[in-house]
């Protein structure tokens, strides 16, 4: 029963995401629905054959990693643009440098703690 609910829920989530993506593709933008449908079909094929082919899994993880990182980077750019319009470039630059230096510090601290183990 739990497996059936899991498959139903994930399928419903997929349909909702695709509906949200294609909802505004009307009129002349309808031509963009076809690439989305092709991508969804390819994803369905890859996920249904994922257990049988390790290579399919590896090729699926490459775009997953890329899109995950790209999405977060794009989101940061949108936030920074908003702050730039409201507060000016100097404040955004100082905040970005502070965030980057904090990230570098936390990554080096994490790497140091892993080598100590």
> Is 54 contained in some domain?
no
Q: Is residue 77 part of a domain?
A: yes
pLDDT score at 70: 79
Residue 60 lies in a domain: no
Going by pLDDT thresholds of 50, 70 and 90, the confidence category of residue 115 is: low
pLDDT of residue 67: 79
Name the residue among 55, 60, 28 with its Cα closest to residue 42. Answer: 60
Cα angle, residue 52 at apex, residues 49 and 55 outer, rounded to 5°: 85
Indicate if 72 and 117 belong to the same structural domain: yes
CA distance linking residue 2 with residue 13, whole number of Å: 16
The answer to whether residue 105 sits within a structural domain is yes
| Matching residue, tokens 């390819």 | 42
Q: Average pLDDT in the 88-101 region?
A: 86
Query: Taking Cα atoms as reference points, which of 100, 109, 104 lies closest to residue 76?
Result: 100
Residue 59 lies in a domain: no
Say yes or no: 73 and 44 in one domain: no
Q: Could you tell me if 82 and 91 are in contact, meaning their C-beta atoms sit under 8 angstroms apart?
A: no
Instruction: State whether 73 and 36 are in the same domain.
Output: no
- Give the domain extent around 19: 1-48
Q: Are residues 43 and 74 in the same domain?
A: no
Same domain, 44 and 72: no
What are the tens digits of pLDDT across the range 1-60? 567 777 778 878 888 888 888 888 788 878 888 888 888 888 777 676 655 566 666 666
pLDDT band at 108 (very low <50, low <70, confident <90, very high): low
Same domain for 28 and 73? Answer: no
Structural domains in the chain (count): 2
25-41 in b/e form (b: 16+ CB < 10 A) is eeeeeeeeeeeeeeebe
pLDDT at 15: 81
Number of H helices, E strands in the chain: 4, 0
- Is the predicted pLDDT of residue 63 greater than 70, yes or no? yes
Phi, psi of 51 (to 5 degrees): -75, -30
pTM over 0.85: no
Regarding whether 107 and 73 lie in a shared domain, the answer is yes
């Amino acid at each position: 029963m739990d497996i059936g609910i899991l498959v139903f829920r994930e399928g419903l989530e997929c349909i909702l995401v695709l509906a949200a993506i294609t909802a505004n593709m009307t009129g002349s933008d309808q031509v963009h629905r076809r690439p989305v449908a092709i991508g969804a079909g390819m994803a369905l094929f890859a996920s249904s054959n994922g257990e049988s082919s390790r290579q399919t899994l590896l090729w699926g993880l490459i775009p997953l990693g890329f899109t995950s990182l790209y999405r977060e980077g794009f989101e940061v750019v949108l936030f920074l643009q908003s702050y730039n319009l409201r507060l000016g470039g100097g404040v955004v630059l100082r905040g970005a440098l502070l965030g980057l230096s904090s990230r570098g510090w936390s990554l080096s601290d994490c790497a140091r703690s892993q080598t100590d183990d």
